[in-house]
Amino acid sequence: MSKQRWQTMQQTKEHDSTTKQGTENQRVRDKHVRDLMVGKRRLVEVPYTASLAHTMNALVANKVVAVPVAAPPGHWIGAGGSMIMESDKQTGAVRKHYIGMVTMLDILSYIAGDDDHDQMNGTGDVSDIDVKMAVPVSSIIGHCLEGLSLWTLNHNTSLLDCMELFSKGIHRALVPLDSHMENISGVELVESASSYRMLTQMDLLMFLKEHASDIQGIISRTVRESGAVTANVFAITERTTVIEAIKCMRAAMLNAVPIIRASTDAHEDHSQLKNGRGRKLVGTFSATDLRGCHLATLQSWLPLSALDFTESVSKSPLYEASDSPRELVTCVAESSLAEVIDKAVTKHVHRVWVVDQQGLLVGLVSLTDMIRVLMLALLSHSQAM
């Protein structure tokens, strides 16, 4: 066989493979937000007058990590200036205005506080948690940046446009069931509908996992090859207390942090975030780990080390865990994207820690990272066809 003929055969083979992948990917690119909303349950929300205690109970009972806050129309400025309204389907009269999103981290950040007037004593214990938990939820919107991000996605929005939003770090959006803007596709700050459903990054990845056969060429690549690994990873040590961990997470706008082995340096400050890269990974601390605590016992958990909390407190009969205790979910840089997505979805975690063969931390792959590389690959395959 001549060299020229062999090269022609190889080029034909590569073209056929690219064409096949493009055809498979097209089935995913043709999907819309409405395809992701099949079977979605009613929206979990709280009124603006709800106490933090009521709000935390709503998070626990419904096994969610965030809820939108509803208020009477005309009295509030919505998050980011948003005007997302619920209106009567028949008359169009506006019934409520969604003024923001409250997450578990918002509540914990408020409980922990970081100022003198927050009534902290020398052990890091909050002196009167009942008083703090009685304040209205509307008073803490915006304590964390995520609470100021309130968006809607029209059900006609393409899957790729939805992926673009979530690839920028937006974790969730409201989807109107009967939008008055049927011809709009994309992200909106103004919307009026008789009801909404919530769409999250996890929902999107679960959908893509179910359609894995259509993106096999993309997800078979390693997380290193696909550029999904974030090398900069902030961590706390095994000696960091729960209350210090919460303060660190609020300051850095993180919903979870890895727990690393403390160094032998006697002067290491365990109250501050560390560069976790190259340190031994021993655990994970997430804001959602605290959502199952009885309020009466939450005060006693705050001075514990975050590692002790994750390992021991969930075994207490006083702790009503809404999920099973979180295990350490890791991968290596050579793990396939498919494997990492499967771990995130199956274990219901929002990030997978990347470690080396010695268990030393080398980075992380977040849901945002996964969605970003999937979107870029789908776009590049589309342009190649």
The pLDDT value recorded for residue 158 is 93
Domain ranges in the chain are 29-204, 221-384
Instruction: Say yes or no: do domains 29-204 and 221-384 share a fold.
Output: yes
CA nearest neighbour of 153 among 28, 288, 23, 40: 40
- Answer for the pair 26, 115: CB distance below 8 angstroms, yes or no: no
Beta-carbon neighbour count of residue 309 at 10 Å?
23
CA–CA distances in Å: residue 155 to residues 31, 34, 152, 174: 11, 5, 9, 10
pLDDT digits (tens, 9 = 90+) for 38-94: 888 899 999 999 999 999 889 888 888 899 999 999 888 887 788 899 998 888 899
Q: At what angle do helices 367-384 and 3-29 cross, to 10 degrees?
A: 120
The pLDDT value recorded for residue 29 is 87
Instruction: Quote the CA–CA distance of 36 and 24 in Å, as a whole number.
Output: 18
pLDDT digits (tens, 9 = 90+) for 102-139: 988 888 888 877 544 444 443 444 457 778 889 999 99
CA nearest neighbour of 146 among 77, 79, 53, 243: 79
Task: Give the residues of the chain that fall short of pLDDT 70.
Answer: 1-24, 114-127, 143-145, 147, 179-188, 291-297, 312-326, 381-385
The pLDDT value recorded for residue 120 is 40
Task: List the CATH code of the domain at 221-384.
Answer: 3.10.580.10
Pick the CATH number of 29-204 from 3.20.20.20, 3.10.450.50, 3.10.580.10, 3.40.1440.10: 3.10.580.10
The pLDDT value recorded for residue 4 is 67
Instruction: Quote the CA–CA distance of 9 and 256 in Å, as a whole number.
Output: 50
